[in-house]
C-alpha cells in the first residue's frame, strides 16, 4: 500500500481487494488462514484452514463439527483469524464469533468437493487418535464400497461463518514504520476505521 493510500469504507471491500491481489501473487493457497480457538479453560489452539467463502455476512470455512476445533467452538464461539501474505508484506487479523452455516450451504459446498474428499469426511474421525495409517486407508475403502455413486454429506460435517467484530489490515513499511488500520463494528452494525501506531 503506497504511502497515503486510503482503505475502503467497508472492511469486507478492503478484504476482497487484498485477497484479489494475493490470488495474483501467492504461489499456493492465498486463502489459507490461521484459525485460533480456545478451550473452555482458556487454553489457545491454532491451525491453518482454507477460507471457502466471504461476503458482507462473514467468512466461511468447513470442517468436521466433532473435531477439536468444532468442540472448542461449541463451548466458546469466539475465534480469531489471520491471513499472512509474505510476498505482499501484508496481513489481516480478524476477531469475531462463529455460527453454523445453513444445511443448504453445507450441502452445496460438500457436493463441489472431489469424490475422495467427500469419502474422507466419512472415513476420518478427525482429531481422534489413529493407530496407523492403514486404519484410515481401510476405512476409506469401506466408504468407497458403501457409496459407489452418490455420497451424502455426514451430519457432523458442516461449515462455520465467522461474524467479524474487528479487522486489522497491516502493511509492512520501511524502517518498521508499518501501516495498521483497524475497523471496529459498533453496536448498530456500522464500521468505524482508525489507525494504530506500528
Task: Enumerate the active-site residues.
Answer: 176
In terms of Cα–Cα distance, which of 9, 7, 29 is closest to 83?
29
Judge whether 59 and 162 are in contact, CB under 8 Å. Answer: yes
DSSP of 97-118: EEEEPPHHHHHHHHHHS-HHHH
Rounded to whole angstroms, the Cα distance separating 175 from 168 reads: 20
DSSP of 75-86: H--EEEEEEEEG
Amino acid at each position: 500500500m503506497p504511502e497515503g493510500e486510503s482503505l475502503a469504507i467497508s472492511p469486507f471491500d478492503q478484504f476482497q481487494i487484498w485477497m484479489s491481489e494475493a490470488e495474483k501473487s501467492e504461489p499456493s493457497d492465498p486463502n489459507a488462514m490461521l484459525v485460533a480457538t480456545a478451550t473452555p479453560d482458556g487454553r489457545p489452539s491454532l491451525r491453518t484452514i482454507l477460507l471457502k467463502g466471504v461476503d458482507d455476512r462473514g467468512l466461511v470455512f468447513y470442517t468436521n463439527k466433532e473435531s477439536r476445533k468444532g468442540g472448542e467452538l461449541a463451548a466458546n464461539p469466539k475465534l480469531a483469524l489471520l491471513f499472512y501474505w509474505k510476498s505482499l508484506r501484508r496481513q489481516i487479523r480478524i476477531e469475531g464469533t462463529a455460527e453454523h452455516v445453513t444445511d443448504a450451504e453445507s450441502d452445496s459446498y460438500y457436493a463441489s468437493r472431489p469424490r475422495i474428499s467427500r469419502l474422507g469426511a466419512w472415513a476420518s474421525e478427525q482429531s481422534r487418535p489413529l493407530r496407523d495409517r492403514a486404519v484410515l486407508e481401510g476405512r476409506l475403502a469401506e466408504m468407497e464400497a458403501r457409496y459407489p455413486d452418490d455420497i451424502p454429506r455426514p451430519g457432523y460435517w458442516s461449515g462455520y461463518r465467522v461474524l467479524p467484530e474487528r479487522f486489522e489490515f497491516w502493511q509492512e513499511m520501511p524502517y518498521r514504520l508499518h501501516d495498521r488500520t483497524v475497523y471496529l463494528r459498533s453496536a448498530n452494525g456500522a464500521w468505524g476505521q482508525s489507525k494504530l501506531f506500528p
